[in-house]
A and B are shown apart, each in its own frame.
Chain A
Amino acid sequence: MAISLNKMNQPQDVVYEQFEDLAQQQETYVIGMWAFLVTEVMFFGVMFMSYVVYRWKYQPYFYALHQELDWRIGGINTFILLLSSFSVALAVHFHQKKKKMQTLACLGFTNLCALAFLVIKMLFEYIPKWNHGHYPGPGFTWDNPNIPGNIAQLWYSLYFGTTGLHGLHVLIGIILFSVLMFMIAVDHPAITDYLPTEMLGLYWHFVDIVWIFLYPLYYLMPK
């Protein structure tokens, strides 16, 4: 079978045996995805709650510690994620219109943004901090006399824990986007309508929204 880039050659609009019609199937998938996103919100809720508790307890130190982060790098990453959210919304739109080329292009751009986010995070944040010994654990080194070392370690635990969990979600997003793009590109028979793109899009918006909260909490803390 020849694979065309311009139109979708998949078996379109298949209804699985447990459903009555396509509308029911699609609505059910979307509800399932939202229910899953609720669990994701609660996952991150724990990290946000821990942050709230300890910032309440150690606000002056936390303010001093947040200056360890560069708000410009976080800002660039925020902008990149917002762009990727926009392009994934476009991808859903094009998939609904069954325009294969445009769908793939938008998904590709989204994936590129996600990758850029991780690369920037690694190169300009994680690796320099790691080299300075600013990571939680027995190897933690700290020489700022104004901030107790244990509070700094707690702060870095929260920072690495929360952004690490978020980064893991970005990584999972990259893998899923790549698989989806491959399946769309080769007209895989499991892609029968735009729902996979829509559901992955919902996931990606969620990942972005988490960052929208993380950025001000960690990078733009008021005194």
Chain B
Amino acid sequence: MTTQVATEEKNYLQEGHTLASWLLTKDHKRIAVLYLISVSFFFLVGSIAAMMVRLELTSPRGVLMSNETYNKAFTAHGAVMIFFFLLVAIPAVFGNFLIPIMIGARDLAFPRLNLLSWYFYMAGGTMFLIAMMSGGVDAGWTFYTPLSSIYSNGQITLALVAAFVSGFSSIFTGVNFIATIHKMRAPGMTWWRLPLYVWSHYAASLIIILGTPVVAITLLLVVFERVAKIGIFSPELGGDPVLFQHMFWFYSHPAVYIMVLPGMAVISEVMACFSRNKVFGYKFVALSSLGIAALGFIVWGHHMFVSSQSMYQGIVFSFTSFLVAVPSAIKVFNWSLTMYKGSVWLASPMIYALGFIGLFTVGGLTGLYLASTGTDVHVTATYFVVAHFHYVMVGGTLLAFLAALHFWWPKMFGVLYPEAIAKWNALLVFIGFNLTFLPQFVVGYLGMPRRYHYYYFAPEFQVYHVMSTLGASALAISLITPAFYLTYSLFKGPKAPPNPWAAKGLEWEACASPPIKHNFHGVPVVVGDVYDYDAEAEERALRGLPPKETH
């Protein structure tokens, strides 16, 4: 591609400057940008709620908020972060932007459905914000019955409808990805040449279409129980509240993999590029995504070891939960081995990716403590659990989101950000994160229950909580900083070349930065394997040596 052509042609950002050209767009790249702005907003809302929670816990007596306000704060934090950030962030922003480009297509299969999904997401998000502002929701993001169906007075109904509507946004995205990946691949882009990014998103989409409807209808049944007093989960009518937990976690455990599989997708790309190496064991990593998706559906009972589930069921769910560690471990080992004999380049996306591997490993291994029925009884509903899932969700998904943001920012907007600040910031995220959540493992093991707004019964826990709040403050600073330097780069950053990282893949090699409206000139034809990096050849070129002789 000649640069002259690329500079003369309009990129997708220049295809229209009116508000309508954005709000009515069917271009997957523009919808991705809409999503990027909206998920950042909801991330801010969820973070403010998190800071309220952390501030409250600096004092053992809980002086800042009443227990009811505290319940509303942690519910807002959990629900906003899960339904409106983690489930959406990577698939709807980077999946939307990159999947068509990576497989050599002009757009997703159903562009209008894609736009509709953004409107559903915004409708759900707005309803949830209204619920928060007009009385709040205090049932926890899990909405357990009978608290949510009978006893709670908050705006539960509106919040449940919000989650239901945003679930449809997820379903639309999943359906779109599946049809696109099946049918829209460019000539030569076989299944075994797909970037691992696409494989992981495919697995996550399968979970979305199999799981999301289940929780949607379950939440709707709770709405009916609140409004019309029908009683599927009502003990008064012979119903079983634990059935709600089963159906809720049938989705919500696999939902963890909807959140983390797209994160893993990002890490595979980043590790390959910044190790200048093929991803070790490509097929194993690809299939482990499907393995996680399949096994993820048979582990939900580990959320109910203490909810009157039978002991034998507990044993089976404990065993399957251990099994799901296998494909996760395959990924971690293979990413680590990707660096072996590679040529590691510590750019900011790579620092986030390395952080992901470390934190996800800690999160995964502490998950095994919780999957063991015996230890789980001791740490159920303590800060140990809180720390565990934050290691997976924040250490996993959020770090992957930041890695993706830094890796593909030059591609999405055609500008380079100040790399030095980005690197130090990545380090600060890692430190701040560990300072926040490592103490929670300890204090949780010592017996600090989750969802309590005070701990006057054990004032010795204060030191851990203060450490955690300090860490959270550092984390907050390190999460706001990218907003500044990335926005700055949009206006003042140097122009990015099409492939600033010398990375492999259609989005880097066959596509301008930012891409043109239909991504490619004509249809790209794919030959050769994915990730054909050659660290040695690159180094020879760098040192002015002739290419290595092949026999």
Q: Could you tell me which A residues sit within 8 Å of B by CB distance?
A: 17-20, 24, 27-29, 31-32, 35-36, 38-40, 42-43, 45-47, 49-50, 53-54, 57-58, 136-138, 148, 150-151, 153-154, 157-158, 160-161, 165
Verify A153–B518 contact, CB threshold 8 A. Answer: no
- 19 further interface pairs, Cβ-Cβ under 8 Å (given A32-B109, A136-B228): A18-B109, A19-B184, A32-B179, A35-B175, A38-B210, A39-B210, A42-B212, A42-B214, A46-B213, A46-B214, A46-B217, A50-B243, A58-B238, A136-B230, A137-B229, A148-B238, A150-B236, A161-B230, A165-B217
A130–B180 CA distance with the chains assembled, in angstroms: 47
CB-CB under 8 A from B230, the residues of chain A are 136-137, 157, 160-161
CB within 8 Å for A158 and B179 given contacts A32-B109, A35-B174: no
CB distance from A215 to the nearest CB of B (A): 20
Q: What is the interface size of chain B, counting residues whose CB is below 8 A from a CB of the partner?
A: 44
User: Which B residues lie within 8 Å of A160 (CB)?
Assistant: 230
- B178 contacts A31, C-beta separation under 8 Å: yes
From A27, A36, A46, A50, B183 is in contact (CB under 8 Å) with: A27
Across the two chains, which residue of chain B brings its CB closest to A160?
B230
In the docked arrangement, what's the CA distance between A17 and B184, Å? 12
* Complex contact A40–B237 (CB within 8 A): no
Contact B184 A42 (CB under 8 A): no
Contact partners of B228 in chain A: CB under 8 A: 136-137
Complex alpha-carbon distance, A137 and B226, angstroms: 10
A27, A153, A165 — most chain B CB neighbours (10 Å): A153
B209 at interface, CB cutoff 8 A: yes
Q: Are A32 and B175 in contact (CB under 8 A)?
A: yes
Tell me how many residue pairs across A and B have CB atoms closer than 8 Å: 118
Contacts of B182 in A (CB 8 A): 28, 31
User: Known: A35-B179, A46-B247. Is A136-B105 also a contact (CB below 8 A)?
Assistant: no
Known: A24-B184, A50-B243. A31 touches B179 (CB 8 A): yes
Q: A28-B183, A46-B218 are in contact. Are A154 and B105 (CB under 8 A)?
A: no
Residues of A within 8 A of B247 (CB): 46, 49
Kindly list the 5 A-B residue pairs having the minimum CB-CB distance in the complex, ordered from nearest: A18-B107, A32-B179, A157-B230, A42-B213, A136-B230
Q: List 30 A-B contacts (CB under 8 A).
A: A18-B105, A27-B183, A28-B180, A29-B179, A31-B178, A31-B183, A32-B175, A32-B176, A35-B174, A35-B175, A36-B175, A39-B171, A39-B175, A39-B213, A43-B214, A45-B214, A46-B213, A46-B214, A46-B217, A46-B218, A50-B243, A54-B239, A54-B240, A57-B238, A57-B240, A137-B229, A150-B231, A151-B237, A157-B232, A160-B230
In this complex, the member of B105, B108, B237, B523 whose beta carbon has the largest number of chain A beta carbons within 10 angstroms is: B237
A residues less than 8 Å from B108 (CB atoms): 18
Question: Secondary structure at chain B's binding surface: helix, strand, loop or mixed?
Answer: helix
Residues of B within 8 A of A54 (CB): 238-240
CB distance from B43 to the nearest CB of A (A): 27
CB pair A136–B214 under 8 Å, yes or no, is no
Residues of B within 8 A of A43 (CB): 213-214, 216-217
Chain A binding surface SS class: helix
Are B212 and A39 in touch, CB under 8 angstroms?
A: yes
Residues in chain B near residue A47, CB distance under 8 A: 217
Q: How far is the CB of A24 from chain B (nearest CB, A)?
A: 6
Complexed CA–CA distance, A153 and B247 (Å): 21
Residues of chain B contacted by A157 (CB below 8 angstroms): 230-232, 237, 239
* Docked CA distance A28–B214 (Å): 25
Interchain CB contact under 8 A, B229 and A138: yes
B221 touches A161 (CB 8 A): yes
How many Å lie between the Cα of A116 and that of B205 in the bound state?
38
A170 to B98, CA, bound (A): 38
Pairwise interchain contact A150-B109, C-beta atoms closer than 8 A? no
Known: A53-B243, A157-B231. A151 touches B179 (CB 8 A): no
Does chain A have a CB within 8 A of B224?
A: yes
Cα A153 to Cα B229 in complex, Å, equals: 10
Contacts of B105 in A (CB 8 A): 18
Contacts of B229 in A (CB 8 A): 136-138
Q: Is the CB of A154 within 8 A of B231?
A: yes
B183-241: which residues lie under 8 A (CB-CB) from chain A? 183-184, 209-214, 216-218, 221, 224, 228-232, 236-240
Whether a CB of chain A sits under 8 angstroms from the CB of B110 is yes
Compute how far the CA of A54 lies from the CA of B246 in the bound complex, rounded to whole angstroms: 14
How far, in angstroms, from A58 to B113 measured CA to CA in the complex? 43
A188 → chain B, closest Cβ, in Å? 16
Judged by a CB distance under 8 angstroms, whether B447 is at the interface is: no
Most A-side CB within 10 Å, residue of B105, B111, B239 = B239
Measured between alpha carbons, how far is A31 from B206 in the docked complex, in Å? 13
Q: Which of B78-104 contact A (CB under 8 A)?
A: 100
Chain B residues within 8 Å of A154, by CB: 231-232, 237-239
Contact B211 A42 (CB under 8 A): yes
B215 to nearest A CB, angstroms?
A: 9
Quick one: which of B111, B176, B209 contacts A39, CB cutoff 8 A? Answer: B209
Given A46-B217, A137-B229, A150-B237: A28 and B178 within 8 A (CB)?
no
* Chain A residues whose CB sits within 8 angstroms of the CB of B239 once the complex forms: 54, 154, 157
Which residue of B is nearest A150, CB measured? Answer: B237
A20 to B107, CA, bound (A): 11
For the complex formed, measure the closest distance between the CB of A52 and the CB atoms of chain B, giving whole angstroms: 10
Nearest CB in chain B: distance from A31 CB, A:
5
Tell me the bound Cα distance from A178 to B77 in angstroms: 44
Chain B nearest CB from A168 CB (Å) reads: 11
A24 to B217, CA, bound (A): 33
Contact of B107 among A17, A24, A35, A39 (CB under 8 A): A17
**Chain B residues near A29 (CB, 8 Å)?**
109, 179
Report the minimum CB–CB distance from B168 to chain A (whole Å).
9
Report B-chain residues with C-beta under 8 Å of the C-beta of A148.
238
CB-CB < 8 A to B214: which residues of A?
42-43, 45-46
Query: Which chain A residues border B107 with CB–CB below 8 Å?
Result: 17-18
Alpha-carbon separation in the docked complex, A43 to B114 (Å): 21
A144 to chain B, nearest CB (A): 15
Min Cβ gap B95→A in Å is: 15
- Select from chain B the residue with minimum beta-carbon distance to A161: B230
Residues of B within 8 A of A58 (CB): 238
**Contact A150/B183 with A32-B175, A43-B216, A136-B229 known, Cβ cut-off 8 Å:** no
Assess whether B106 is interfacial by the CB under 8 Å rule: yes
Cβ distance B261 to chain A, nearest Cβ, rounded Å: 17
Bound CA span A54–B237, Å: 11
**Residues of the A chain whose Cβ atoms lie less than 8 Å from the Cβ of B224:** 161
The reply to whether B238 and A151 form a contact with Cβ atoms under 8 Å apart is yes
B109 in complex: contacting residue of A28, A39, A53, A151, CB < 8 Å: A28
Task: Report whether B184 and A28 are in contact in the complex, using a CB–CB cutoff of 8 Å.
Answer: yes
B31 → chain A, closest Cβ, in Å?
13
Q: Are B518 and A17 in contact (CB under 8 A)?
A: yes
Distance (whole angstroms) from the CB of A167 to the closest CB of chain B = 15
Q: Smallest CB–CB gap between A173 and chain B, Å?
A: 18
